Amino acid sequence: MKLGDNAGWKLDRHIPVALVVTIALQTGAALTWSGAAAERLTALELRSGRTDEVVERTARLEEQSQAMRASLARIEEKLDRAVARR
C-alpha cells in the first residue's frame, strides 16, 4: 500500500444511521455516568475529610477526659487524706 493511496480510516456509506446514533447515545450515557461517578467520589472525599476532623477531635477529647480523670483522682485522694486527718 502506498502512502498516497488515502491510507487510513474510511467511513463506508453502508453503515446504518441507527448504528451511528446508538454509538453516539452510548457515548453520551457513558460520559454522563462518569460525570455522576466523579460527583459521588467528590462527595465521598469531602465526607472523608470531615470524618478525619471528627476522629482527631474525638482523640483530643479522650486525652482531655483522661487528664480530667487523673486530676479528679488526685483531688479525691487529697480529700480522703484531709478527712482522715480530722
pLDDT for res 51: 86
The predicted-structure confidence for 1-41, as pLDDT tens digits, reads as follows 455 565 677 766 787 888 889 999 999 999 999 999 999 99
Nearest in space to 51 (alpha carbons), one of 37, 59, 66, 65: 59
Q: Domain spans of the chain?
A: 22-85
The predicted-structure confidence for 46-64, as pLDDT tens digits, reads as follows 888 888 888 899 999 999 9
Q: What is the average per-residue pLDDT within 64-78?
A: 96
pLDDT for res 3: 55
Q: Are 15 and 21 in contact (CB under 8 A)?
A: no
The cell numbers describing 3, all together, are 502512502
